[in-house]
Every structure is written in structure tokens, then in C-alpha cells.
Chain A
Amino acid sequence: MKPLATWQDKCIDSQLLVASLVGLFKQRGMDCDKLLRGTGIFITDIRKPGHYISPKQLIKLVDNALTMWPSGDLGFLLGQLWLPSQSGVLTAGLFCARDLNELGRFWYKYHWLTQPWLQCWRWQGDSEWHFLLSLDLGAERHAQFFIELSLSSLTASCKQLMGRSWCGSVRFPYQEPSNVAQYYKYFGTDISFDAPLCRVSMAKDFMQQALLFAAQAQGGYQFQSPRYALLASESQFGLAAGVRLCLMHNNMSLPQMAEKLGMSPATLKRRLAEMGLNFGQLADETRLIKALYYLAAPQQDAHSIATSLSFSDASNFRRSFKRWTGQLPTYFRFWLA
């Protein structure tokens, strides 16, 4: 496993989102010096190939951008520009995918190269695919912005590659924001808020529809450059995503995790705190995801789920679940159906 990217590691390609953001501000005639103030990013470096910035710099930049931008549509506008101006080495592969299924698999494999702040979990329901989105690299601080950005890039790319509007449903892990009009406009009307996690669902037959450029895929050359780029990159996951992945496979305590990652428990704690996280939060989040999976599977009762999540008994599990989501487990029985 490659080292996990932390708060100060330069791992975000500035030619993508950052360049797009600065371009948008320039186009609207806004003060780019003010936008970059305190970020340590220089306007002349942004377009340089191989120039990377750290999560710390990115979050500061987003801080500045959100305070300066006059309305609530920044994430949506940037998301619209994702393909092709922020998709980098993935562009060719995205255009050549046969259908959304293939596109999704391709994106899942290489999204670190363009959207390293995302972590995605897939789950197959009866008639739908569900995608649970978690954030990484300290992007939780602007969870709403990053979720708007990512989903808007999804819907815009679908529109572009399918020639029709995206359809699906989204549950957002925060309360109804003041810019809900943008949500209706870009994500359709099947949306709701106050969910425990961000869930995006698409019908299976929607995901099997042929994309417009499917016929033009040839050779597989389009997979070469992202593969090499990923091989060459110093890391493949952020710290939060890496910890979640490990926890997904087996329950570990903080000291065990620190040992696995080759650092002291205090260092791990400090590195997580830099991104505004703590180990307990991540452990709860992964257990919640697992609990939701188990609840969706048939023939699972609270007792067996509690055992598989290493709770001492079912009532303990119910209490924790209530603490995570505000609801009892039965309420989420069909959440990932």
C-alpha cells in the first residue's frame, strides 16, 4: 500500500479544479489575488504541468472562494465544467465508455487523479445501483460544496455523454440548504435531505443505456495514461479514506491502525485532527455503512448484525444506530434495497 496522503502532502493537481475555479473568477471579473490570498498558491504556477497543491491549500482556497462568491451556485457551476476541463487524464476513457456501468467502474478506479477528495462505495440493489459518497482529505469542512461539486459533475457528464438529462435520486447528509433551487435544477426533483450519508441511486437500466461515443472506443489506449499516472502518483488514498478502507475489512482500534500505517497513535491522532477528524468518527461511519449493507441484505436481524459489527448485543447496536442516524435500524431497512 502506498503512503496515505495527509493534510500537507502535495497531491492535488492544480491544473484541474484550481485552474477552473480561478478561470471562473477571472471570467466574472472578480479579484483573483484576493481569491489566492493565504493559500500559498501562485497564479503563475497553476497551469504548470506537474504542479500539485496540498489539501490544506485547497481547503483554504475553497474557504476564500465561498466567502467571495456572491450566490449559492459555485459548486454547481464548477461541476458543469468538470468534463473535459477538470477530468484530466480520465477524459479519453470517459468518452469511450460503453455505458454508465463501465464509466462508473473506470471512474472508480482512477478518480484519485481528478477528485481525490471523494471516496465512493458501491452497492447493488434489486433494480438500482447505490453509491455512497464519503469525503476525504479534510473536505468535510466544506461537505456541502464538495458534494454539490461532485454530483453536479456527474449530472453534467451524463448529459454530455448520453444526450439526455440524468435521472436518479440523491439523499444529502445535511439539512435543506438555502440554495435548494439549484438542487432541483441540477439534480432533479427526487432529492431529500437529513440523510445519515450521501447516497446516489441510479436505475440499472438507466446505467445500461449506450453512451453516444461507445462505438468509437478502440484499442484501449485510453486506459494507458490514467494507469501510468496512478502508478506514478505518490499515494492513492487520503488518510481518512485509507483508514475507512482498513476498518471496512476488519475492526481495529486506534493503536492497531497506527501500527498498520507505521506511525505512532499520537501521530495518527494528530494527522486526523489536522483534517478536522477523529478516529471515533471514522470508525462510526464505517460501522454505519456496514450496518446499512447488512440491513439491506435479506435474512438479517438486529442480533446477527450486532454480532457481525462486534457489538455485545442487539440493544447496544440499536442504541448506537440511533445515535448515528437519529432513527432505529428498521427505518433504514430498504435504504439500500
Chain B
Amino acid sequence: MHNILEHPAKSFRLAIVYGLSLLLMFLVPLLLWQNTSAKVFTQVDWLDIAAEGALFIMGMCWLMVIVSVRPSGRVTHLLVIGLSSYCLGCYLDLLDEIFIVKTLPIYNWFEKLPTPIGLVILTTGLWQWRDEQNVVNRQLQTREQFYRQHQLTDSLTLLNDANAFEHHLVKQLARQQPLGLIMLDIDYFHQFNQLKGAEEGDRLLSEVAQWLSSQLRSQDLVCRYAGDRFVILLNGAIASLVSTMAEQLQQGMSAFGCEACVAWVLPSPKTVCANQSQQQLKGEAQILLKSLNEKISQQKSQRATATVPSSQTMAQSAAGTLHQPSPPIHSFSEPR
């Protein structure tokens, strides 16, 4: 698991932000304590304290979220500075509920300033964050096509999962534009896992995912369907494009030292008629996915009967605990 907090620069920044805010929290009341008198207990408006205290605590929570998860850079700096300044303003507001500060002329100015300045900086930061997000969206286009639901992301390959794919497919079917579907399934992945270990298998999967998302045109989408099975949605595709793409992907897999089964379908426009309800579209999408799965299963069973000798050696080495070790399998050459 990659945790952004593990970077040293990140923890350093975190330490500075919290150190400074703690310092302020102790220093300002100390100063006030020495220079003015506190309000009498009955003068204190507890409702105000509760409301302003809540604002302050919320602000600190937002700050914590931003600092802990954003990669560093100018946008993050703006957001952090803006939010800290806003929090400071809230805190000072909170203090004047307890101390009588009207008597301190400079302090009065000092108290009013941080909130508006903080909000201006925060707004600038948010505006720049918008531009940044546009760039990120384009970078992730082949992985999410402008639909983000992070719960639907597969944690291993960081691609979207089958449920998210179904959502995209339904959306695309509703638009009634031509589309093509490709499904890709790595051959003998089970044996690969047993021979080289599950860690290598996981690595292979994320590499393939990375490679697939870089192979596609920007309007296409790749998702991890299940296990070593990936599924691709080609928007606005024609038959020749889909079949060439399928062939290219199949050949390209040899760069990873393995082979793959590839199946594709091109739903004819007839199957999609106007004004279908969401439920019908969903059924349509499920039928399409099922037919892809069927094609892959068929290919798999044909392939297995054709290559029994080679898979025999594989299975033998997989069963190395029982029998003497045999030479490594042919299907997995070293990646080129």
C-alpha cells in the first residue's frame, strides 16, 4: 500500500503546519493573559463560544485532510496557507469571547485580518485546483472517462472494476453511439502465480493494466473485469478498428512474456433502440458482457486442448513438491 505520508518532505510539512498552529494556540492566549483581563464568568456567551469553537475545529479538520492527502506543489501550498489563515482568524475570534480585547488597538486589527485574507488565498487555491483537476482528468481519461467513484476502483491495478465498467457501458448505450467491446484474458496466469509467486503475479497484473491504459485512444476506457481478465470499451468504433485493436493487444502481450485470449463484440445498432429505460439498458449491458465471457470461455477450452503437452510440463513444475523439478515452461519467456 502506498501511503503518501511516508514521504519525508510530506511529514516535514505536516510537522511545520501543526507545530506553528500549536505555537499560536499557546502564544496568543499567553500574550492576552499578560496584557488584558479575562471576562467575568457570567459575561461569557457560551453559545458564541460553541459556535465559533465549532468553526475553528471544522477548519482544522479540513486543514488536516488537505495536508494529509494532497501531493505537494503550488496549489497545495495555497490551500494550506489559506486554510491555516482562516483557522487562525476563527481562533482569535474565539479568544475575544473570553478576553476583553477592545482595549488593545493593534490587536483589534490583527484579529480581523486573518479570516478575509485566508478566504481570498483559499479561493485562489481552489481556482488553480480546478485547472489542475482538468489536467488530471485528461491523464486518467482512459481509466475513468470523467466518471469518478473511488469505491469502484480495484485496489491492485488501480483500474476501475467490473461494476464501474457496467455503469460506463450503460451510459454509452444510452447515447446510442457506435461502440466496441474487447475482453482480454491472460493465459496460464494461475500457473504463473504458482511458479513465480503471487507477488510476481500481482506485479504482472498492474503492469498489464498500466500498459493497457496507455495503449488506448483517449476516448476509450479499460477496466479490470475479474482476476486476470480485462475489459475495454471503445467509443465510436467500427468493426475494422475493433478487430485490429484486439489483434494488436494480443500481440503486444508478448512483451510481458505471456499470451492472452482476446474476444471482441460490436453491438449492432439494431439491438439498441430509442427510449429504452435504464433497466433495459442495464440488461442489454449484462447480455453483452455475458456474450464476451462466453467467447473467452470457448477460446480457453479450445486453447487448452491444443496445448496440452506444454501445459503438462507446467503443471508438473507446479507440482514440484511431489515430483522432481522439470525445466521451466515455454509460455513464460523473460519479458523483452
Contact = CB atoms under 8 A, between A and B. Distances in A.
A212 B316 contact: yes
A213 B320 CA distance: 12
Given A27-B198, A185-B225, A164 B155 contact: no
A273 B174 CA distance: 50
A188 interface: yes
Given A71-B155, A84-B321, A163 B311 contact: yes
B202 A27 contact: yes
Contact of B227 (A76, A84, A178, A216): A76
A156 B190 contact: yes
Given A27-B199, A91-B321, A92-B322, A163 B290 contact: no
A95 interface: yes
Contacts of B322: 91-92, 95, 213
B131 interface: no
Interface string A48-73: 00000000000000000000001101
B168 to A, nearest CB: 14
Contacts, number: 95
Nearest to B292: A184
B323 A161 contact: no
Nearest to B229: A185
B225 A181 contact: yes
Interface residues of B, number: 39
B279 to A, nearest CB: 14
B336 to A, nearest CB: 26
B301 A184 contact: no
B304 interface: yes
A71 B1 CA distance: 15
A30 interface: yes
B226 A164 contact: no
Name, among A27, A73, A181, A185, the residue most crowded by chain B CB atoms within 10 Å (CB to CB).
Answer: A181
B226 A80 contact: no
A29 B1 contact: yes
B276 interface: no
Nearest to A84: B321
Given A70-B155, A71-B155, A189 B293 contact: yes
A182 interface: yes
Contacts of A95: 319, 322
Interface string A16-60: 000000001001111000000000000000000000000000000
Contacts of A179: 162, 226
Name, among A24, A164, A180, the residue most crowded by chain B CB atoms within 10 Å (CB to CB).
Answer: A164
Given A84-B321, A184-B293, A164 B163 contact: no
A159 interface: yes
Contacts of A167: 301
A154 B184 CA distance: 23
Contacts of A180: 162
Interface in A124-167: 156, 159-161, 163-165, 167
Given A27-B198, A95-B322, A163-B304, A186 B227 contact: yes
Contacts of A30: 1
Contacts of B226: 73, 76, 179, 181-182, 184-186
Nearest to A178: B163
Interface in B184-206: 185, 190-191, 193-194, 198-199, 202
A58 to B, nearest CB: 22
Nearest to B323: A216
B70 interface: no
B305 interface: yes
B308 interface: yes
Contact of A163 (B163, B225, B308, B321): B308
Interface in B299-329: 300-301, 304-305, 308, 311-312, 314-316, 318-319, 321-323
B48 interface: no
B321 A160 contact: no
B154 interface: yes
A73 B323 CA distance: 31
Given A30-B1, A185-B293, A165 B300 contact: yes
B220 interface: no
Contacts of B191: 160
Contact of B315 (A29, A80, A163, A178): A163
B227 A159 contact: no
Nearest to A184: B293
Contact of A181 (B162, B185, B193, B294): B162
Contact of A189 (B185, B225, B294, B321): B294
Contacts of B308: 163-164
A161 B1 CA distance: 34
B227 A165 contact: no
Contacts of B289: 181, 184
B161 interface: yes
B176 interface: no
Interface of B: 1, 154-156, 161-163, 185, 190-191, 193-194, 198-199, 202, 225-227, 229, 289-290, 293-294, 297, 300-301, 304-305, 308, 311-312, 314-316, 318-319, 321-323
11 contacts: A91-B321, A160-B194, A164-B305, A164-B308, A165-B301, A165-B304, A179-B162, A180-B162, A181-B162, A181-B229, A185-B226
* 10 nearest A-B residue pairs (beta carbon): A164-B304, A181-B162, A185-B226, A163-B311, A184-B293, A70-B155, A181-B226, A182-B226, A29-B1, A189-B294
Given A163-B312, A182-B227, 8 more contacts: A28-B202, A160-B194, A164-B305, A165-B301, A165-B304, A181-B229, A184-B289, A185-B293
